[in-house]
Amino acid sequence: MLRQIIKRGSSSVVLSSRIARAVPSRAALFHSSSTQYSASKTVKLTAESYPNVKRDERYATLEQSDIDYFKSILPENALIQDQDDLLFYNEDWMRKYRGQSKLTLKPKTTEQVSQILKYANERNLAVVPQGGNTGLVGGSVPVFDEIVLSLANMNKIRSLDTTSGIFKADSGVVLEVADQHLAENGYIFPLDLGAKGSCHIGGTVATNAGGLRLLRYGSLHGSVLGLEVVLANGKIVSSIDALRKDNTGYDLKQLFIGSEGTLGVITGLSILCPPRPKNFNVAFLGVESYEAVMKTFVKAKSELGEILSAFEFMDESCQELAKKHLKTAYPLEEQHPFYILIETSGSNGEHDLEKLEAFLESAFENEVIQDGVIAQDETQLKGLWNWREQIPEACQINGGVYKYDVSLPLSDLYGLVDAARERLTQAGLLGDTEDFPVIDAVGYGHVGDGNLHLNVAVRRYEKSVEKALEPFVYEWVSSKKGSISAEHGLGFQKKNYIGYTKSQPEIEMMKQLKQLYDPNAILNPYKYI
Ligand code: FAD
Ligand code: 2HG
Ligand code: ZN
């Protein structure tokens, strides 16, 4: 098997410096003819699935005079009122939540966003800021009749300083578009995720998304330099021209990173982008146990060090779902209980490949890994990444998915998947036939960041499944001192569970901030704060 690694990886292939792992845009999926995504398969209204959540009567109901006002400040095509067209903005990516908004607004400028919010605040109209609508906690869609404020038309790249790598853009620029622009100039966006073809850079900042290369580039809390934000009362606050070092007072932009649209609307951002590595290598490995995943990680950190840019793990069950979805042969000849995807990136392809091969050889000799392949060209590289990046979609297309995105100490990480599987089996919910709502509970994620994605793939959304898992999962995570949200946020799904991770004094401070900056609570109501 090692020969296989060496044989398949030893040719001196220099991989292309540009990787564009395009995923179909959500809009394309939504409007495709496949049954899973077609509008004909109606998603249950959130208000029906969660009857305990009531519309807050403090909020005004949209009137013709409101429409007239918005028409007076926006071009006609920036207002969406058609029921069919509104579906895209009302339904979330998982097709688990559906709001009842009657109006989506698509401003083009910060000034227009400011006018919209000022008016909504005075009228007490609730507003949901929306980026690419790829969020996975129901935070990006309305619950009742909130107005959707889509940033999709705010999509201009403002500037790139090719000396410092400081990139400034409107928040509605699609992540992949931003990254392509940076690639043309020798830079890389310091965040990469499977939804890059649809999600907005502003949306990723609003959720503080982590993604596939956090291991290398760190959190957005570190790389974002400044933000342009419109507060609930319409006031524009901007730190977009901030330089890398600035120690004058509170770092206010941090408040908005990860605030999920509850404190202000991000209209522009500036971010420090690193030079784009010239070469990427990807290895896909099979191992016998979760223990071996951890051992491989420790070894990779020590032996690949500065060139390691991603370390992802997947269990056998999620690869089975991915296989059904991708309809191609597995990358490895034999099946293994766990798989690892390692990416290295650096400035010298031959040197990186040599290092990677030496690492794999020793890991194989020490029986840490059982099998593996290295991509030899860009097509193979994208193909291997597909086995990782397509898992979220593979888990949800059979009817739906319950997602739990958690941080745990590495030694406990996979224990949650075993615990969830056992709980669902005991509750008689997991099985091979249509009688059972649950198809499987699978685990994968960003091992390098201690981030597990527990995905419970279902044939249909059913309350019994949710009841079996919530708060069970959150209690389990809390007992291990983990976080109930590692990177997706709290949104609607986890709004009642913040106390499992944050203390009462912390929650109190969050409420005070909300009260201070959005006293009428018009921004993203019914969500976590
Ligand atoms: P939306 O989904 O539209 O919004 C998300 C939240 O931010 C909402 O609460 C919304 O109100 C708010 N918001 C959006 N734009 C703004 C704005 N301009 N101002 C204020 N608030 C705003 N996440 C990870 O962390 N790591 C991953 O690896 C990852 N992979 C993914 C893979 C797939 C296939 C999918 C579907 C999702 C993935 N995600 C991942 C989830 C992730 O949260 C989103 O992809 C991304 O961060 C959201 O961007 P968006 O533009 O779609 O925002
Ligand atoms: C990923 O890492 C995303 O692929 C999505 O964060 C995870 O769908 C999920 O649970
Ligand atoms: Zn993730």
Q: Tens of pLDDT along 79-111?
A: 999 999 999 999 999 999 999 999 999 999 999
290: nearest Cα among 338, 336, 335, 332: 338
Residue 4 confidence (pLDDT): 52
Give all domains of the chain, ordered by start, each with its CATH number: 2-34+277-392 (3.30.70.2190), 39-150 (3.30.43.10), 157-272 (3.30.465.10), 395-488 (3.30.70.2740)
Q: Is 301's pLDDT higher than 60?
A: yes
CA of 524 to the centre of ligand 1 (A): 14
Q: What is the mean pLDDT of residues 61-69?
A: 98
Ligand 1 touching residue 140 (CB < 6 A): yes
282: nearest Cα among 3, 13, 23: 13
**CA angle at residue 330 from 11 to 404, to 5 degrees?**
115
CA atoms lying within 13 Å on the CB side of residue 255:
21
Q: Is 422's pLDDT higher than 50?
A: yes
Residue 413 confidence (pLDDT): 97
Ligand 1 touching residue 133 (CB < 6 A): yes
Task: Give the whole-angstrom CA distance, residue 529 versus residue 514.
Answer: 8
Q: Which atom of ligand 2 sits closest to the CA of residue 445? A: 2
Residue 55 confidence (pLDDT): 98
Q: What is the mean pLDDT of residues 469-491?
A: 98
20: nearest Cα among 280, 277, 382: 382
Categorize the per-residue pLDDT at 45 as very low, low, confident or very high, splitting at 50, 70 and 90. very high
* In the chain, % of residues over pLDDT 90: 91
Instruction: Write phi, then psi, for 274 (nearest 5 degrees).
Output: -80, 160
Helix (H) or strand (E) holding 499: none
* Of 390, 453, 493, best ligand 2 pocket probe by most atoms within 8 Å of the beta carbon: 453
Task: List ligand 2's pocket residues with C-beta within 6 A.
Answer: 136, 194, 392, 403, 405, 453, 455, 487
CA of 210 to the centre of ligand 1 (A): 10
* Of 88, 95, 136, 221, best ligand 1 pocket probe by most atoms within 8 Å of the beta carbon: 136
Query: Beta partners for 372?
Result: 285
Q: Which atom of ligand 1 sits closest to the CA of residue 446? A: 28
Closest residue by CA, ligand 1 atom 43: 135
Crossing angle for the helix pair 349-365 and 290-304, to the nearest 10 degrees: 140
Residue 31 confidence (pLDDT): 33
Task: Give the whole-angstrom CA distance, residue 119 versus residue 270.
Answer: 28
**CA-CA distances (angstroms) from residue 64 to 15, 45, 67, 76, 195?**
57, 24, 5, 15, 36
User: SS3 of 136, please?
Assistant: coil
Task: Give the whole-angstrom CA distance, residue 369 versus residue 357.
Answer: 13
Give tens-digit pLDDT for 168-211.
999 999 999 999 999 999 999 999 999 999 999 999 999 999 99
449: nearest Cα among 227, 176, 191, 272: 191
Residue 448 confidence (pLDDT): 86
Q: Which ligand is nearest to the CA of 194?
A: 1
Residue 15 tokens, joined? 């991989």
Q: What is the mean pLDDT of residues 424-453?
A: 97
Residue 10 confidence (pLDDT): 36
Write out 386-451 in H/E/C secondary structure. HHHHCHHHHHHCCCEEEEEEEECCHHHCCHHHHHHHHHHHHCCCECCCCCCCEEEEEEEEEHHHCE
Ligand 1 touching residue 99 (CB < 6 A): no
Q: Is 439's pLDDT higher than 50?
A: yes
Q: Which ligand is nearest to the CA of 137?
A: 1
Q: What is the mean pLDDT of residues 129-150?
A: 98
Categorize the per-residue pLDDT at 41 as very low, low, confident or very high, splitting at 50, 70 and 90. confident
Residue 169 tokens, joined? 């853009």
Give tens-digit pLDDT for 235-255.
999 999 999 999 999 999 999
Task: Give the whole-angstrom CA distance, residue 267 versus residue 158.
Answer: 12
Q: Is 29's pLDDT higher than 50?
A: no
CA of 490 to the centre of ligand 2 (A): 14
Q: Mean of the per-residue pLDDT values for the chain?
A: 93
Q: Which ligand is nearest to the CA of 110?
A: 1
CA of 201 to the centre of ligand 1 (A): 9
Q: Is 523 exposed, middle or buried (CB count within 10 Å of its CB: 0-12, 13-18, 19+)? A: buried
Q: Which ligand is nearest to the CA of 203?
A: 1
Q: Is 298 exposed, middle or buried (CB count within 10 Å of its CB: 0-12, 13-18, 19+)? A: exposed
Residue 528 confidence (pLDDT): 82
Q: Say which range, 2-16, 59-73, 476-490, has the weakest mean pLDDT.
A: 2-16
Q: Is 307's pLDDT higher than 80?
A: yes
Q: Which long-range contacts (CB under 8 A, 24 or more apart) does 422-425 make?
A: 423/468, 423/469, 423/472, 424/456, 424/465, 424/468, 424/469
Task: Give the whole-angstrom CA distance, residue 193 versus residue 144.
Answer: 30
* pTM (two decimals): 0.94
341: nearest Cα among 188, 441, 445: 445
